Amino acid sequence: MLKKPPKLKSTIRAKMKGNVNIAAASEAMIELMTLLFLNSLAEEAKAKAFEEKSATIRVHHVRAVSKKVLKKARG
């Protein structure tokens, strides 16, 4: 088992405003939602790279689709 929390959990705790208590289940949901978002971002970037006939996903592919994925995630 891990002896220290993953970096994502410590980042979430550092960016919280004020003294807010988060239950363990809520923390897990936040982490899962973040992973789902990153997965969809990677899929869209992969499709963009494929459109440009590139074998690797580069930074400009991710930047090109990030606005679209953020809008889709907000609903």
pLDDT in tens, 7-57: 777 777 777 777 777 787 888 888 888 888 989 999 999 999 999 999 999
Q: Measured in whole angstroms, how far is the alpha carbon of residue 51 from the centre of its chain? A: 23
Using alpha carbons, select from 45, 39, 43 the residue that is nearest to residue 62.
45
Contact 48, 72 (CB under 8 A): no
Say what the pLDDT of residue 12 is: 73
pLDDT confidence band for 62 (50 / 70 / 90): very high
